[in-house]
Chains A and B, each alone.
Chain A
Amino acid sequence: MDGAIAKNMNLLAHDRLQGFGGVGEGMALQVKGGRRILWIAHEWAPKNFTGVDVTDPRRPSIICQTELPHDRMRSNSLDCTGDILAVAYQVAEPGMQPAGIELFDVSTPESPKSIGFHDTSGPHSRGVHCLWFADGDYIHCASGAADFVPTHLRDDQFYQIIDVRDPARMKEAGRWWYPGTREGDDASPPARVNPRPLDDIRGPDAFRLHNANVYPERPDRAYLGYIDGGAVILDISDKSAPQVVGTWNPHPPYPGFTHTVMPLIDRGLLVVTDECVQDDAEDWPKLTWIIDARKEDNPVPISTLPLPPLEEYGHKGGRFGSHNVHENRPGPSFRSEEVIFGCFFNAGVRAYDISNPYRPEELGHFIPPGPEGSRVSTAQMNEIYVDEKGIIYSGDRWAGGLYIIEPTF
């Protein structure tokens, strides 16, 4: 690809998703009868999700692309287990609808069929921002709720466990929120890390949940990225009453926005990302941390993933810093506790060897050129999924669409 910067990675294919190349934070792979379908959530309206046949990763083809009900909402996040696709709906302002989770039967991938909707709308709720659906039974999500009044407008989304075993009758099985973020809490509201005006309810300056990850090897544990609340490990052996096991929060002095907490269970490590949310390195440094969590109640940071120089990337345009990592998802997914794949906005897709977690080493990277029609001049690699064959699927946040990459390491 002309203009790409690559080391130990080759581009297999690029698809601009029929002109709707803003990829959100949801990618999931469905393997069905010899076919491989990549489901992609969109960052913005008007599109809801797109299904791409990647059976031949060199020749992706779109098999369906769906619409959102209106343009003041986004789907942003999705997940797929078996033939059930779960999609998160978040609205622009509290009180709007539809907000919550919709389930689709994608047994015929070309024709997703809605099979259930879980409503989390409410006067103070924007619905669901991010969800995790890996075991077929429960969705773990960041959502508002009709009965939840946050103490700060931006702290509206908290951890909810949704029982989806009967898709037509989904129900909440449990919840946890950061102490002090709900009206009526005994705890005081948490001190803001970087206070911002409330003219834009999105973005930083928030004690709300972003990602919640639960793995079959430890079904009794939920790993939460709670934005300015840092990393939280919950015991969810009783889903109705999650209990805090351990926390780690570098904010402040770091600039906030803990996004993902991914456990490396065999090794007793965590990979914790802080999302970059401002252009031109205004919120630098946004790091991906390696945490020694052998003692869950005393996580210790031991290193960060090395990034290219701030002098070179900080002012290339757009965001520069951490965001999503490939989350070792159960199913047709690459899983490793020694090789970590992440996307870093204008620093592209990068892979690291953390076999020595005290000194991560980069294995390779791929940075596409800035796509046409983007808001910024650089590619903004936003989401990443690596399949069990090691093929990397990554998406640009604004316009570039889907990039399919093969590592050579």
Chain B
Amino acid sequence: MTAPRRYDIAYGIIEDPVLALAPENRGLPERRHGLSLRLALLTDASPALRLNSRGWMALTPDVVSRLSGTEAWLWHCRGRLENRVSVFGRPIRAFLAAYLDFAERSVEAHRGSLPGADDDADGLFGHRDWVFSAFLPLPNAYLDLTGTDDRPATREDFFRFDIAFWTGRELLAVLLEGRSMRTPGRRRLLETVRAERDDIRIIELPAPLPGDEDYVFPSEAFPPDFAMFWEGLAVPFGPYRADAFDWSP
């Protein structure tokens, strides 16, 4: 039986992925896998990471008490995602904003056929709660290419993607091609990743231009099922759930 494939990812505003992934800095409970404010430790058996996955936001009681209703939670998710990107990461910020717009549009477009949602006043969920089932973007995602604990990873073992998504089936790794070329060493590493990691779907996209208010998420570059992110799910739910519903990988 082969060992499951690992995806150790440090994401967000990361200065040193080695430091972020060091065991003493992981900040996760005593288990090998999970999602935290800046780490996603996954295997190919991990369920999809979604906006309603627990761990990527700090949901303290005072935060939760301030948020009432779907729209407040959606706004909160947008803000938290934006804060995962450096203030100088304008292309990634624009991409994330467009992605969330896309998730909302997808839900609206399929409103009539979404399972489990009931917009009546007595309904437990509304159709817009399905937005929280959209795949969670991991901005500035440093992937540890070693995939092993046999030796400590070094900076050279990481490849940085602008955004990564774990859909439960595959890792989608987005590179925004803007005004930054790769150095020769980084080009060689990307070629190696392409050649040796057919489990990673690398998607190269033109970066949003500064000030482009018409930028639209390029969904056509993603797998067809990416837009139907609710498939296979019975009911929608928001980012805040009590421990009784722990599903973490």
Which residues does A use to contact B, with CB under 8 Å? Answer: 217, 264-269, 292, 294, 328, 334-339, 356-357, 359, 363, 388-390, 406-409
Interfacial residues of chain B within 177-220, with CB under 8 A of chain A in the complex: 178-181, 183-187, 207, 209-210
Chain A CB within 8 A of B88 CB: yes
Known: A338-B180, A339-B180. A267 touches B88 (CB 8 A): yes
Q: Are B183 and A335 in contact (CB under 8 A)?
A: no
Chain A CB within 8 A of B89 CB: yes
Interfacial residues of chain B within 76-100, with CB under 8 A of chain A in the complex: 86-91
Residue with the highest number of chain A CB atoms closer than 10 Å, among B86, B181, B183, B185: B183
CA distance A328 to B181 in the complex (A): 10
Min distance, Cβ B136 to any Cβ of chain A, angstroms: 23
Min distance, Cβ B125 to any Cβ of chain A, angstroms: 39
Residues of B within 8 Å of A334, CB to CB, are 181
Q: Are B207 and A266 in contact (CB under 8 A)?
A: yes
CA distance A408 to B187 in the complex (A): 11
Contact of A266 among B179, B185, B186 (CB under 8 A): B179
Ranked 8 nearest A-B pairs via Cβ: A390-B184, A267-B88, A336-B180, A409-B185, A337-B180, A266-B179, A338-B180, A266-B178
Known: A356-B15, A359-B15. A336 touches B88 (CB 8 A): no
CA distance A54 to B112 in the complex (A): 64
Min distance, Cβ B210 to any Cβ of chain A, angstroms: 6
Chain A residue with Cβ nearest B87: A294
CA distance A387 to B117 in the complex (A): 56
CA distance A389 to B188 in the complex (A): 12
CA distance A173 to B210 in the complex (A): 28
Q: Are A268 and B183 in contact (CB under 8 A)?
A: no
Min distance, Cβ B86 to any Cβ of chain A, angstroms: 8
Q: Are A409 and B88 in contact (CB under 8 A)?
A: no
Q: Are A408 and B87 in contact (CB under 8 A)?
A: no
Q: Are A407 and B184 in contact (CB under 8 A)?
A: yes
Residue with the highest number of chain B CB atoms closer than 10 Å, among A266, A335, A388: A266
Chain A residue with Cβ nearest B180: A336
Known: A294-B87, A356-B15, A357-B88. A265 touches B183 (CB 8 A): no
CA distance A389 to B178 in the complex (A): 16
Residue with the highest number of chain B CB atoms closer than 10 Å, among A264, A292, A356: A356
CA distance A356 to B89 in the complex (A): 10
User: How does the 8 Å CB contact mask read for B106-146 relative to A, with 1 for contact and 0 for none?
Assistant: 00000000000000000000000000000000000000000
User: How many A-B contacts if CB must be within 8 Å?
Assistant: 60
Contact of B210 among A265, A335, A357, A389 (CB under 8 A): A265
Q: Are A390 and B88 in contact (CB under 8 A)?
A: no
Residues of B within 8 Å of A388, CB to CB, are 181
CA distance A266 to B179 in the complex (A): 7
Min distance, Cβ B54 to any Cβ of chain A, angstroms: 29
Residues of A within 8 Å of B15, CB to CB, are 356, 359
Min distance, Cβ A380 to any Cβ of chain B, angstroms: 25
Contact of B179 among A294, A328, A363, A409 (CB under 8 A): A328
Main SS class of interface, B: loop
Known: A265-B210, A266-B210. A409 touches B89 (CB 8 A): no
A-B residue pairs in contact (CB < 8 Å), sample of 10: A266-B91, A266-B180, A269-B88, A336-B181, A338-B180, A356-B15, A390-B183, A390-B184, A408-B184, A409-B183
Q: Are B87 and A406 in contact (CB under 8 A)?
A: no
CA distance A338 to B207 in the complex (A): 15
CA distance A339 to B178 in the complex (A): 13
CA distance A126 to B210 in the complex (A): 39
Residues of B within 8 Å of A407, CB to CB, are 183-185
CA distance A98 to B102 in the complex (A): 61
Residues of A within 8 Å of B187, CB to CB, are 390
CA distance A409 to B182 in the complex (A): 10
Q: Are A339 and B183 in contact (CB under 8 A)?
A: yes
Residues of B within 8 Å of A335, CB to CB, are 179-181
CA distance A334 to B183 in the complex (A): 8
Residues of B within 8 Å of A338, CB to CB, are 180
CA distance A217 to B88 in the complex (A): 17
CA distance A408 to B188 in the complex (A): 10
Interfacial residues of chain B within 199-246, with CB under 8 A of chain A in the complex: 207, 209-210
Interface contacts beyond A217-B209, A390-B184: sample of 11 additional A-B pairs, CB < 8 Å, sorted by A: A217-B210, A265-B179, A265-B210, A266-B180, A267-B88, A268-B87, A268-B88, A268-B210, A294-B87, A334-B181, A409-B185
Residue with the highest number of chain A CB atoms closer than 10 Å, among B88, B89, B186: B88
Q: Are A406 and B179 in contact (CB under 8 A)?
A: no
Residues of B within 8 Å of A337, CB to CB, are 178-180
Residues of B within 8 Å of A328, CB to CB, are 179
CA distance A357 to B207 in the complex (A): 20
Residues of B within 8 Å of A359, CB to CB, are 15
Q: Are B184 and A217 in contact (CB under 8 A)?
A: no
Min distance, Cβ B222 to any Cβ of chain A, angstroms: 23
Residues of B within 8 Å of A292, CB to CB, are 88
Residues of B within 8 Å of A264, CB to CB, are 179
CA distance A358 to B181 in the complex (A): 21
Q: Are A336 and B184 in contact (CB under 8 A)?
A: no
Contact of A408 among B86, B88, B180, B185 (CB under 8 A): B185
Min distance, Cβ A203 to any Cβ of chain B, angstroms: 34
Chain B residue with Cβ nearest A217: B179
